[in-house]
Amino acid sequence: MGNNSYDEYLAREALTLARNGAIAPEIRVPDAPITLSTASVYPEKVPAAFEIAALLGYDGVEIMVSLDASSQDLTVLRRLADYHEMPITSIHAPCLLITQRVWGREPWGKLVRSKEVAEQLGASVVVVHPPFRWQREYAREFETGLARMQEETDILFAVENMFPVKARGNEVGMYAPGWSPVDQDFPYCTLDLSHTAVSGSDPLDMAARLGERLRHVHMADGVGIQNRDEHLVPGRGGQPCAEMLERLAVDGYRGQIVLEVNTRKATGRAERVEDLAEALAFTRLNLAAANPVWEVSPAGEVSPRSGA
């Protein structure tokens, strides 16, 4: 659903409810762009993410730099963005275990390359994971080094919350200085709601504590099974996704909201598109539900909130 048709739909819903005496005909939708991570179409590749994002009316694409060669190729990415008229709004640096050799093995070099690609493609954010504990020198200099790099560019380096890994009931230290950026002195941060499910964290509390440092949100869901980073479609797990979106709207959030969901179990393109359409509808409707008299079900149904 394109932005214009979506706005018309909301206007019709508001008018219908207003005529029934349920609400005043006013809807607040923040200016936060809602974009699609290329990770959301795996095992399909980056071109599929642009096709689906354009089809469904997403506001842009986040590039997860991965083993997929097209995610690393500046020329290919620029052509995809131009052809589909779909801006690249953020770059996820290759910080995963499986991407340790992508763009070299030197971690600072990866961040420099991510920043350069972001600048050339017009993206405004580079998503960064905390260092692994065995990257001792990188971890020791991470906070000061990142602050120094931040002073040299308008690109925002947004450090993402991760989660503790447990083995036989004991926590295994994977990240240094830690998996949560809340208590670290990073200028900007990314909040991932699938990761909060794994860590057992309260994302609403984390968002409040991050305050103005929260500039990027990975919207997903999770049940909270130990060590399982599920990235469910929002509304299908146990995270307060709807409440988070309403809170962001009330607080006037102007960062990016990225749908980073797992569709690898989809039987094909049609089911994948349905999942990503549901994720987009859930996100937009709950952002529009900041007015306390609105209520949006996980199925995307809009109705007056009980007692309003």
Domain map (residue ranges) of the chain: 3-7+30-290
Q: 250: helix, coil or strand?
A: helix
Q: Beta strand 294-296 with 302-304: parallel, antiparallel or unpaired?
A: antiparallel
Predicted local distance difference test score (pLDDT) of residue 23 = 47
Tell me what pLDDT residue 12 has: 58
CATH, range 3-7+30-290? 3.20.20.150
Question: What is the pLDDT at residue 26?
Answer: 47
Q: What is the mean pLDDT of residues 270-289?
A: 94
Higher-pLDDT residue of 170, 41:
41
Q: How far apart are CA 295 and CA 83, in angstroms?
A: 37
Q: Is the pLDDT of residue 172 over 90?
A: no
pLDDT of 25 above 70: no
How does pLDDT run across 190-214, given as a tens digit for each residue?
A: 999 999 999 999 999 999 999 999 9
pLDDT at 215 over 90: yes
| Three-state SS annotation for 162-215 | CCCEEECCEEECCECCCCCCCCCCCCEEEEEHHHHHHHCCCHHHHHHHHHHHEE
* Rounded-to-integer distance, Cα 5 and Cα 266, Å: 27
Which of 1-5, 54-58, 74-78 has the lowest average pLDDT?
1-5
Percent of the chain topping pLDDT 70? 83
Six token digits for residue 8 = 């018309």
Q: Which has more pLDDT, 93 or 167?
A: 93
CB-CB contact of 69 with 47 (8 Å): no
Which of 13-27, 51-65, 143-157, 235-249 bottoms out in mean pLDDT, i.e. has the lowest?
13-27
Longest dimension (CA), the chain: 64
Position 18 pLDDT exceeds 70: no
pLDDT band at 301 (very low <50, low <70, confident <90, very high): confident
Residue with more model confidence, 19 or 54: 54
**Residue whose C-alpha is closest to residue 160's, from 202, 197, 209, 127:** 127
pLDDT in the model for residue 27: 45
The pLDDT-based confidence of 125 (bands split at 50, 70, 90) is very high
Contact 67, 99 (CB under 8 A): yes
